[in-house]
A and B are shown apart, each in its own frame.
Chain A
Amino acid sequence: MGDEQRPDGKGGEISRRAFLAAAATAAVAATAAALAPMQDITDLPTLEEFLRKHYTELTPTDKEAIIARISAQVEKEYGVRPHLTDPQPMTGVEYGYALNIGRCIGCRKCVYACVEENNQSRDPQIQYIRVLEMKKGSIDVETSNTDYEGEVPKKDSFYMPVQCQQCRKAPCVKACPVKATWQDPDGIVVIDYNWCIGCRYCMAACPYGARRFNFEKPMIPKEELNPEMGLISNRPRPKGVVEKCHFCLHRTRNGKYPACVEVCPTGSRKFGNLLDPESEISIILKTKRVFILKEEVGTLPRFYYYFNI
């Protein structure tokens, strides 16, 4: 029966009820204490963020409100009022990119120009572009090396930077369970950072290792923030979402070159409108020895590699 604890009981026992009462209290205390880490949380989503619709379903009024909200957030956090826009794809334009591996010397200026232009996290370090140092004689990326340093180019090596190839048949677009990533009509594969659930299936699917994940809230030094921002390009991303190269669409959809093209000291990077026969990219595809990476996977990328001649 429900006797109280008897100090002189054989071996010492307590009643089930007493035990349950004490254990339940202890369990509740332990559960409450287990929630302790939540007191440090800083970036819970607001109700508006939680309920926000997919980018393709936002009305212009929605977008204005979102832009105003994000601009205010960025100003509060970084002390800089951004110029946040939402440039739409231009009609009659399909982007193409070509990279001259006969001229690339592997200096990595493209990598860091991209980091600055696109407000990528410095710590943890996100870099959209990965430069591979390849040995002459093979284009198998497994023989490559990404941690070379010092003076470049090195003897008997050539350099192949890799970034998102904006594939026409993108495996990441197929993989995403919530359609957070899709190909826009101008060819850029974009990501809605407010829709991505962070499952990282797209990262497993990408044959080029082009996508990056925000394992933490990105750290961008205030003084290095680029205030020229695009809603689905380079405005500061939240923790837990995937990002990647988007051909600097806040620049390119306004007619400018991407940051990597502009900074390249050897002029190895070429960009333009594939539908314009006079653009440098069209001329390259017509006249140079062009190839694509991992052709056998069938992704039909719009990023081409070529040699000088």
Chain B
Amino acid sequence: MNGDTNGGSNKIPLWVAALSIGGLLLLAVVFAMNLLGDGPKGEPIAKLLPAYSDNATVRKVRKEMTFDGAPCQSCHDGVDPIQGDPKGKGVFHEAIKIQHGRNQHCFNCHNRKQPADFANFDGSPIKLADVQMLCAKCHGTTYRDWNDGVHGKRTGFWDVSKGGPKPTVCIACHDPHWPIFKPLTAAPAPHVNPRGPAKSAHRAGAEEHGGHE
């Protein structure tokens, strides 16, 4: 590296000069015009739909007991106890499918004398507004957990001094005739941050190209 002690040659061959200077100037052009490009873009990510984070409960809770819009009193006078099996009475109440485990008998829950209410063990009415007491007849442990806040959705405030939590009533999630919680459609699978295909379509092998070039 010590040219001056190598015999004093202070001349640079033309090809070396051309290569060096030309190369650097070429580089200047490449940079100024961004000829190297910016690299590949990631896959576009779909916009979020409101349904993905919808806060509502899975069921709407009815405010009053009606059947097809008509109040129960329009057919039941509320004086004599209802007898017989509702399913054998004509077009009303036949379409109701009961998938409530071993609870196949309508009047386990519904009140014979006041059909707009429900029935306690001794026949006394349970109002729609207190429907959790109905479920608690058989699902005592779940009711205990629900009361403690351990079962079911709660919204609002964890801090009691600020208002406390608002529990949701049983039938906001469970259809009383078919109570099992229905499957939902999952919101979309995650993308790799910062880029890469969604890990949905292909399994093994897809992420081999996840980092792009």
Contacts and interface: CB of A to CB of B under 8 A. Distances in A.
A212 B194 CA distance: 10
Interface of B is mostly: loop
A130 B190 contact: yes
Interface stretch (B46-54, B71-79, B88-96, B98-106): B46-54
Given A109-B52, A151-B186, A124 B31 contact: no
Contact of A33 (B32, B55, B161, B203): B32
Interface string A1-32: 11001000001111110010011001101101
Nearest to B56: A265
A122 B14 CA distance: 56
A134 interface: no
B149 interface: yes
A213 B193 CA distance: 8
Contacts of B61: none
Interface residues on B, range: 35 or more
Contact of B28 (A33, A123, A262): A33
A257 B155 contact: yes
A267 B152 contact: yes
Interface string A267-306: 1001111000001100110011000000000000000000
A265 B47 CA distance: 22
Interface stretch (B19-27, B113-121, B129-137): B19-27
Contact of B187 (A12, A27, A109, A288): A109
16 contacts: A11-B14, A12-B13, A14-B11, A29-B28, A33-B28, A107-B187, A113-B53, A116-B53, A127-B193, A147-B200, A148-B189, A255-B163, A256-B156, A257-B157, A266-B153, A272-B158
Given A122-B45, A130-B190, 18 more contacts: A5-B14, A15-B12, A16-B12, A26-B20, A27-B24, A29-B24, A30-B31, A108-B52, A116-B48, A122-B48, A153-B183, A255-B159, A262-B55, A264-B153, A267-B152, A280-B149, A280-B150, A280-B165
